[in-house]
Chains A and B, each alone.
Chain A
Amino acid sequence: MNQPTSAIISEELIDEIIGKYQNKPGFLLSVLEEIQEKNPLKYLPAETLQTVAAKLNLPYSRVYGVVTFYSFFNLRPQGKHSIVVCRGTACHTKGSKQLLNEIGHSFGMNHQDENSEASFTTADNQFTVRTVACFGQCAQSPVVEVDGKIYSYVNSQKLLKILENVKKNGVQKNFSVNTSR
């Protein structure tokens, strides 16, 4: 079963969110963060950005500039499951780059661009793999977050098990992977 590949949230909801943050510090970021969160595919389609710009009386370029500046915002739909590999220093020293490559391979992706890290969504929109600068979970590195749950002391064997489980069981709940050292 494929995921839908686009979704747009309603103007009413956008109004409501804007109303909530208006005139507060950081309001544009907060507004965009919440709108993205409310989008079922966790992204900000161009239409939404245009609506936000118009409602806030800001140039579209300003809104677009903000969205592209921060890594939190997605311009493309995200997969149903998210796999986030921490690329913090502690994780790096313990082999997170290799983990990232292995995840790519397990989805048949081959990352070539040496100037940036792999980030992709599978064609069926089931999985998005991306990196984060650091989760701050450094003491238990390397860590990988799958659907919001952080797994500690991951290695490629453990990772394969986690991914197999996610692939097999779809939304994974409460399955436990041994996180012992």
Chain B
Amino acid sequence: MAMTVAELELLKNKNIERILPSVPMFLVGMSTCGLGNGAESVYQSLEKEIELRHLNFKLKQTGCFGYCAEEPIVMMYQPQKPLVVYSRVNEKDISAIIDGIIKSKIYRKKILCRIDFWDHLTSKIEYGKDYEDIPHWDEISFFKGQKKIVLRDAGFIDPESILDYIAVGGYQALSKVLTGMQPNEVIDEVTKSKLRGRGGAGFPTGTKWSIMQHSKADVKYIVCNADEGDPGAYMNRNEIESDPHALIEGMIIGAYAMEANQGVIYIRAEYPLAVKRFQMAMQQAREYGLLGNNILNTGFNFDIQLVEGAGAFVCGEETALIASIEGKAGRPMPRPPYPAERGLYGKPTNINNVETWCNIPVIIEKGSDWFTKTGTERSAGTKVFSLVGKIKNTGLVELPLGSTLEKFIFEIGEGTGNNKRIKAVQTGGPSGGCIPVEYFSTPVDYESLSSLGAIMGSGGMVVMDQDNCMVDVAKYFLEFSANESCGKCTPCREGLSQALAIMNKISKGEGNFQDIETLELLTRTIKDTAICGLGQTAPNPILTTLRYFKNEYEEHIQEKRCHAGTCESLFLALCENSCPLHMNIPGYIELIKEDRIEEAFELTLRDNPIPGTIGRICHFHCQMRCRREMVDEPVAQGEIHRYLADTMYQLGKENEIYNRLIAEKLPSSGKKIAIVGAGPAGITAAFYLVRLGHEVTVFDAMPEAGGVLRYGIPQYRLPKSVLKKELKLIKKLGVKFVFNTRIGKDIFLQDLKNNFNAVYLAFGAWKDIDLNIPGENAKGVFAGTDLLKELSLDKTPRIGQKIVVIGGGNVAIDAARSLWRLGKDVTVVYRREKIDMPANKDEIAEAEAEQIHFRFLSAPHEILTDNSGRVNALKIEIMTTGPVDTSGRRKPIATGKFEEIPCDTVVLAVGERVDSAPFVAEGLKVTKDGRLIVHPFTFQTSEPNIFAGGDAVMGPATAAEAMGMAKRAAEAIDWELMKEKRFHLLFKKFEYRNVIPTDIKKSPKNVSAKIQVKERIGNFHEVSTGYTGEQARDEVNRCLRCDVKVN
């Protein structure tokens, strides 16, 4: 029996107590993501506890509130109080949460936010005011700025209850339409709302409806496309699971407007819960006379049938979807005719995406004027995105169209949440593209994303970080599209599989540069000639990665490397791949396990000429990608090779191996090479080039070799004796050193050019960056690197007693700890938070152990001086943290509050830059910030026989990075001089066991002993004593040997 409009109103008023009951109530988010995280057992525990204690509490399942990373989410309702939202709830919390209500002292752990009122748009619910110390939902990062139009009910109502939906104003828009609006008026309203198709193409909905309305036929169909096939997107799933009646209401209104009386929803079979909830919703709607004949007693007839998709991505294309509903293979048809003329079973058909339909009731209820206030001129309203991948706050994000990518990824998502850098975001799934981080200020709307070569798509937003290879991402999507190609048209069927074959070649390191051109030509052709959207857009992932990440393709082709560590055929193990020197880490680890210490050392030495040094001061890139992290924490690969080197030197066995390297030097090539700079890059290049038979001379401005290792890093981290010992090898190999010679002053580049066959420039980055604050030139202000240089020359700098070091990098920490050793009172001032400091974490921890003071979130404002012009204080501005910025760190935001730190000395260590002036004067090309420009693979500068590397090219980087670059440059220089592949002759294959350890138990990494803090004052003795033999043997056994391939 049909319900009347008046009865609907009555039902609404009567059921408001379902939303605002007079007793406490729990709402448990039970969509797929909640259930996947234990919501069901939380629900059951609540149920049991309420029953056990005989409480008059209500319990309700709801849809998803959107913050999937925080599931299971439980909302606690108490009459006249705000909703309290708990996150990551488990069974153990239940009792305490219930106690909180009973004792009127709410459980304070795991609270995410509070909700005072909620605007369902179809009604407003006031919960109450209290708990103002808890942030309101729209004040926390994830929700700040979100506007819930589509997700207006998600998380608040029981999706399996029509009464809940009616209670918050559901079906009122339908009632309004059926009793007071002509079909034309409805279409006008939708047209004026500027709503565009949310499936991704963005066709104006009003126009689409109008065309359909004008098609006259006895039967017309409207279809809801819920075949959400984009991998990485799940908005539609959630919209159906959380609020199925909103979709039904939208469809009925659409049917009325377009004068259709049959509806079909096509849901993919992979969404069983969505199917179940939609079926229940239809059933209930029929029972209440909202579906079927004589809807709301107005004489309008309409019903919906549900069809489950069977797993074919192409069925998201409307003509393929129609074929599928007709029970055929889902192959698209060329358009026209459009479905509006001839669609399902040959009848006029209108197809819209789930989200498009969900917007309709609100547009009718609030009016098009209201709707167009949100979004941009051309793209009105909001769009729901699924923000996933390498991002801290994953979930469904609904923002006004036109919000920037930065807003989504850094403000809402808060970056990666770890120390990895974000590289790109992929929008639009297999039809979309990868947008690099440099373009994150782009607004998210249909046109802006298209202009970048991506598409808005249905709303997938997958974030990629530095560990994701863009060649692999492109290959992944291509593999997907090639598999999903229906096979009907040749460009798509054949073209995609040919393109995939090329991508496979490239990802295995077997590609060539011609392949890139072929790929571009091929994919452009497919784009222009395929029949349907699948084929026309499948090239987008390839084209955008070629556009923005061509360097990665070239690295796979030229270097045969996948720096992200994804393409497995291109590396041995993740640690090896992350090591800039590509040391065979699993190799030396296994050799140590087998007690073959000398061979382990030899293997190490061939990869890295200064293993004892680097084992002490490396940034340990290897540890950032260690599979062991899955069990407990990374293997300390660096400590192991330090142990290896120290042990060999103690035993005095290194000379035997040194002699071996000397003996196997290649015969003299007759070529002379000059290297400028005896730092990590210079000595590494020298080590390899001299062994290749070249005559190598290294020039350096300082009196000894080592560069930053000798004149920057303090002795308590790296004793001079260790470095000296290791550098002896370079001399023994026959490298000549010319010290106290500065280019541009004592000797000129032109001289080197005239007298050598090749020149390698590796002069580092030594110039301190100015802070540009008043007082910088006062007496008592020092540059960090100058100070460290003086200390390394055993001079005692003439500085005061109370010292402020400005900066957060290794130079700042090195300076602070050195000065502390001289008995000074040291404070480090840094404008961001501790976690954001670029210095090595261990160094920061040791500095803290040494009780060096830290002032975080303090931006230097002015250096204050006394009458004589001497420093007497540093004025700082107190900062607070803002949203995450593109560096992945929280932006420091000025508070306007100032403070003075009294001091007599200020050390500036805010970074260094390259001083390339003498080289620019001699014609070399440099970047804006003064770095030498080189070819990425040949390392040639703007002059072909002058090569460069290290910090002089990269800007301040790690020693290992500089050495890795120099190693590659040595190979390139040798090739340039000899035109023959010889570099591999310098390496040797060691045979060792390849057995994967089984029965892995948790065991944290070994930590080497350190000298006591009180014993560090007044001296520069090395702090870390390194591993004992026992520790080293234990540590090597922690390696999971992920380099061993099971095949």
Contacts and interface: CB of A to CB of B under 8 A. Distances in A.
Interface of A: 24-30, 32-33, 62, 65-66, 69-73, 87-94, 105, 110, 114-116, 132-141, 143, 150-152, 155-157, 179
Interface string B366-405: 0000000000000000000010111000110000000000
A90 to B, nearest CB: 4
**Which of B228, B389, B460, B468 has the most CB atoms of chain A within a 10 A radius of its CB?**
B389
B662 interface: no
A28 B327 contact: yes
A114 B568 CA distance: 13
A156 B628 CA distance: 11
**Size range of the chain B interface in the assembly:** 35 or more
B344 A25 contact: yes
**Which of A73, A94, A134, A156 has the most CB atoms of chain B within a 10 A radius of its CB?**
A134
B327 A156 contact: no
B328 A66 contact: yes
Contact of B37 (A91, A152, A156): A152
The interface residues of chain B, by DSSP majority, are classed as mixed
A138 B388 contact: yes
B325 A134 contact: no
B324 interface: yes
Nearest to A87: B231
A154 to B, nearest CB: 11
B329 interface: yes
Contact of B237 (A69, A94, A136): A136
Contact of B233 (A24, A138, A140): A138
A95 to B, nearest CB: 9
B307 A136 contact: no
Contacts of B68: 139-140
Interface string B230-272: 1111100110000000000000000000000000101001110
Interface string B260-289: 000010100111000000000000000000
Contact of B305 (A24, A115, A133): A24
Contacts of A87: 231, 480
B231 A93 contact: no
Contact of B389 (A89, A135, A179): A89
Nearest to A64: B329
Given A134-B230, A137-B32, A139-B33, 18 more contacts: A26-B305, A26-B325, A30-B307, A71-B312, A88-B231, A88-B232, A89-B429, A89-B476, A91-B231, A93-B462, A133-B313, A134-B233, A135-B32, A138-B388, A139-B71, A139-B394, A140-B68, A151-B36
A30 B308 contact: yes
Interface in B213-242: 228-234, 237-238
B328 A93 contact: no
A132 B328 CA distance: 21
Contact of A33 (B232, B310, B484, B1047): B310
B497 interface: yes
A105 B1046 contact: yes
Interface string B650-666: 00000000000000000
Contacts of A157: 630-631, 1000
A138 B234 contact: yes
Nearest to B69: A139
A92 B473 CA distance: 9
B269 A140 contact: no
A134 B270 contact: yes
B232 A89 contact: yes
Contacts of A136: 32, 228, 233-234, 237-238, 270-271
A90 B462 CA distance: 6
A89 B266 contact: no
Nearest to A155: B630
9 contacts: A26-B264, A32-B310, A33-B269, A88-B231, A89-B426, A91-B231, A134-B270, A139-B395, A141-B388
B483 interface: yes
B504 interface: yes
A166 B484 CA distance: 32
Given A25-B305, A143-B36, A132 B233 contact: no
Contacts of A110: 1046-1047
Nearest 5 CB-CB pairs, A to B? A28-B327, A89-B232, A139-B68, A26-B307, A136-B234
B356 to A, nearest CB: 19
B36 A137 contact: yes
A115 B497 CA distance: 8
B307 A140 contact: no
Nearest to A36: B310
A140 B500 contact: no
A89 B460 contact: yes
Interface string B470-501: 00010011011011101000000000010010
B719 interface: no
Contacts of B468: 93
B330 interface: yes
A139 B388 contact: yes
B1031 to A, nearest CB: 24
Nearest to A90: B388
B1047 A71 contact: no
A11 to B, nearest CB: 20
Nearest to A134: B231
Given A134-B234, A138-B394, A29 B389 contact: no
A65 B331 CA distance: 11
Interface in B327-352: 327-330, 344
Interface string B1015-1047: 000000000000000000000000000000011
Contact of A115 (B229, B325, B500): B500
A138 B324 contact: no
B389 A94 contact: yes
B426 to A, nearest CB: 6
A66 B429 contact: no
B21 interface: no
Contacts of A93: 389-390, 462-464, 468, 473
B231 A70 contact: no
B308 A26 contact: yes
B386 A72 contact: no
B598 to A, nearest CB: 34
Given A136-B228, A137-B32, A29 B476 contact: no
B311 interface: yes
B231 A89 contact: yes
**Which of A114, A139, A143 has the most CB atoms of chain B within a 10 A radius of its CB?**
A139
Contacts of B463: 93
A26 B324 contact: yes
A111 to B, nearest CB: 10
B453 interface: no
Interface string B66-109: 00110100000000000000000000000000000000000000
Contacts of A139: 33, 68-69, 71, 234, 386, 388, 394-395
Nearest to A93: B389
Contacts of A70: 309-312, 329-330
B486 to A, nearest CB: 7
A92 B330 CA distance: 26
